[in-house]
Amino acid sequence: MEELINRVPKAELHVHIEGTMEPELLFDLSHKNSVPLSQTLDQCKQSRLNYENLQDFLNQYYQACNVLKFEEDFYRLAMEYFEKAIKSHILHCEVFFDPQTHLANGISFETIIKGLTRASEEVKNQIQVKWIMCFLRHLPESEGIELINQAIPYAHLIHGIGLDSAEEGNPPGKYENAFRIAAEKGLCGPQCLYKTAHAGEECDASSVISTLYHLNVPRIDHGVRSIDCDNLCKALVECKVALTLCPLSNVKLRVKERFFPEKKAIKELFDFGVMITINSDDPSFFGGYINENYAYALMEFEEDRQKDVLRQLAKNSFLASFINEEEKVDFCKKVDEALDKL
């Protein structure tokens, strides 16, 4: 099964580029840019083994972002992820980046986007990349609107928008105007459909419902707590809203432990007919890239079903992506071709 997972073509739709920073790169950039860290390398690795909650993780995540100062730093960060993605047979990825984190550190939007897109341009013959600009929901919406103003000159390099950071206490309606303005300014792709938002990770199913209502997104990031509401799951199926699940993230952040310890949420959502995809979220912090997340997810299914489930999950990753219908058909054919040979 590990060989099948590795060789099947797939897309990754939920990965934060800052969350791919391995400890070694973190300390290398810390030294290069004279940014002191509060931990040793060994302490850093140890602290990434367990988190009390989402905020505990975010504290470490934002501290790591402090070492990113120059275009070359963002380029190196992206290239390290792309190298791993290519080895994992990811053919298409839609990668989140958090400009507000870096703008607060005095880094220009130009520096961020040029570093990231230089990397994606360099690997375009091996992997197709779309950049999703995220708003930090714990910040005021006015700051998100200011971010839009800074992003407009680079709209041709941005393929969509997202909403991330601390879910609890920051309802999606808070960013309704920002999403509307971003669409008006051409940051949400064709027909303004390339938008997504985190929901249903910290908060319950009502957060997913509210996100769909206020932000009208075709895709929900995480959304795993939808499993607690049958009517929501029915609506997700009927409206063809996809969930970008991140299994190891749910384990490390104790989402599964706190909210559905007795449930096999991935299997139940899949069997319900919800279009779920498997992704790595912040892999360097959560102990696994996409293949490890697939392996964990497939453990919920009976062994004689795993190959068929893998086939559907891989197809879902393309079907839920922000690519055109013709490309989706072509990628799904590649999935069948790969698995039929093995």
**Beta carbons of 17 and 77 less than 8 angstroms apart:** yes
Q: Does the pLDDT at position 151 exceed 90?
A: yes
Q: Which CATH number fits domain 2-341: 3.40.50.150, 3.30.540.10, 3.20.20.140, 3.90.100.10?
A: 3.20.20.140
Over residues 155-173, mean pLDDT: 96
Give the range among 200-209, 254-263, 319-328 with minimum mean pLDDT.
254-263
Relative to beta strand 196-199, strand 219-222 is parallel
pLDDT for position 94: 98
Q: Which tens digit of pLDDT belongs to each residue from 82-123?
A: 999 999 999 999 999 999 999 999 999 999 999 999 999 999
Encoded tokens for 25: 């790169």
Q: Is the pLDDT of residue 52 over 90?
A: no
The residue extents of the domains of the chain are: 2-341
Average pLDDT score, the chain: 96
Whose structure tokens read 């961020």?
A: 112
Q: Position 45: which residue type? A: K
Is 72 a residue whose pLDDT tops 90? yes
Which residues, other chains included, contact 306 with Cβ-Cβ below 8 Å and sequence gap of 6+? 1, 298
Q: Is 151 helix (H, G, I), strand (E, B) or coil?
A: helix
CB 93 within 8 A of CB 34: no
Percent of the chain with pLDDT over 70: 100
List of residues 6+ apart from 159 with CB closer than 8 A: 94, 130, 131, 132, 189, 194, 322
Sorted by sequence, the CB contacts under 8 Å of residue 109 that are 6+ apart come out as 99, 103, 147, 150, 151, 154
Q: Which of 56-60, 85-89, 133-137, 303-307 has the lowest mean pLDDT?
A: 56-60
Token reading at 326: 């013709």
pLDDT at 190 over 90: no
Considering only CA atoms, which of 83, 86, 81 is closest in space to residue 96? 81
Q: Dump strand ranges (E) for 165-263.
A: 196-199, 219-222, 242-245
Query: CA triplet 219, 131, 92: central angle to 5 degrees?
Result: 75
Averaged over 21-45, what is the pLDDT? 95
pLDDT at residue 53, rounded to an integer? 78
User: Closest by alpha carbon to 315, among 331, 293, 299?
Assistant: 331
Q: For 201, phi and psi rounded to 5 degrees?
A: -110, -70
Helix (H) or strand (E) holding 72: helix 71-87
Q: How many residues are listed for the chain in this entry?
A: 342
Give the tokens for residue 13.
């739709």
pLDDT bin (cut points 50, 70, 90) of residue 23 is very high
Both tokens of 171, joined, read 């309802």
Q: Please confirm, yes or no, whether 303 is among the known catalytic residues.
A: no
Query: Which pLDDT band, with edges at 50, 70 and 90, does 51 fall under?
Result: confident
> What is the rounded average pLDDT of the residues 10-24?
98
pLDDT tops 90 at residue 241:
yes
Cβ pair 214, 172 in contact under 8 A: yes
Question: Cβ distance 132 to 151 under 8 Å?
Answer: no
The span from the CA of 167 to the CA of 202, in Å, is 6
- Is the confidence at residue 217, as pLDDT, over 90? yes
pLDDT at 50 over 90: no
pLDDT band at 293 (very low <50, low <70, confident <90, very high): very high
Looking at the predicted structure, is the pLDDT value of residue 191 above 90? no
Annotated catalytic residue within 12, 18, 94, 201: 201
What confidence tens digit (pLDDT) does each residue in 36-47 have?
998 999 999 999
